[in-house]
Amino acid sequence: MNILISYASAHGSTAEIAHFIGRVLQAYDSHVTIASASEVQSVESYDAVVVGSAIHGNMWLQSCSQFLERHAEALKTKRTIMFITCIRVMEPGGREHALEEYVYHPMLEKVGIALDTLGIFAGKIEIGAISWDERWLLASNYDGSAGSKLINHDYRDWAAIGAWAHQVAATLGLQPLFA
């Protein structure tokens, strides 16, 4: 199976997750291409597409939206799965909040992404890498219930991301290359 992993990443955390998912899927009978959403010209040659985006300003990144809109017709004909990364997911009720507030459901329906396959993961924060505007936005959306390690911390749960990637492989009907 020929799989595209297309991602929109503001500071690199989501890109790293996309590459990790790609390495997991390469352990199955598949060929995986990993590319930034803004660089993908066509999805026609792929059997399945995994789309990932960071959440900034309570929505996925513009390059992700543009990717989904640009390839909507073709994506409807393929198995398309999505993941998002947001720091809010680490808080109590964060996953539910992300599903309700950060996911544009009409677009998921338009391209045929099943909500039950959506991966939602925490990212990482390197405060020196983000602008002051982003810091204010981050602070305004953080309810403070998850502790005080918010600055310069990697919240990514690689075991959970790996488990989700293996579930994606199962959903796609991929067979492992190992015995």
Indicate the number of domains in the chain: 1
Answer whether residue 179 is part of any domain.
no
Asked if 157 and 122 count as a contact pair (C-beta separation under 8 A), the reply is: yes
Residue 176 lies in a domain: no
Q: Is 15 part of any domain?
A: yes
**Dist. CA 94–CA 76, nearest whole Å:** 29
> Is 160 inside any structural domain?
yes
Can you give the pLDDT at residue 148?
Answer: 45
116 belongs to a structural domain: yes
Give the pTM.
0.86
Give burial (CB, 10 Å; 0-12/13-18/19+) of 39.
exposed
- 107 pLDDT above the threshold of 90: yes
Pick the range with the lowest mean pLDDT from 17-31, 87-101, 162-176. 87-101
Four-CA torsion 57, 59, 63, 66, nearest 10 degrees:
-140
**What pLDDT does residue 43 have?**
98
For 145, the domain range is: 2-171
Tell me what pLDDT residue 131 has: 62
| Residue 57: predicted pLDDT | 79
How far is Cα 1 from Cα 83, in angstroms, rounded to an integer?
20
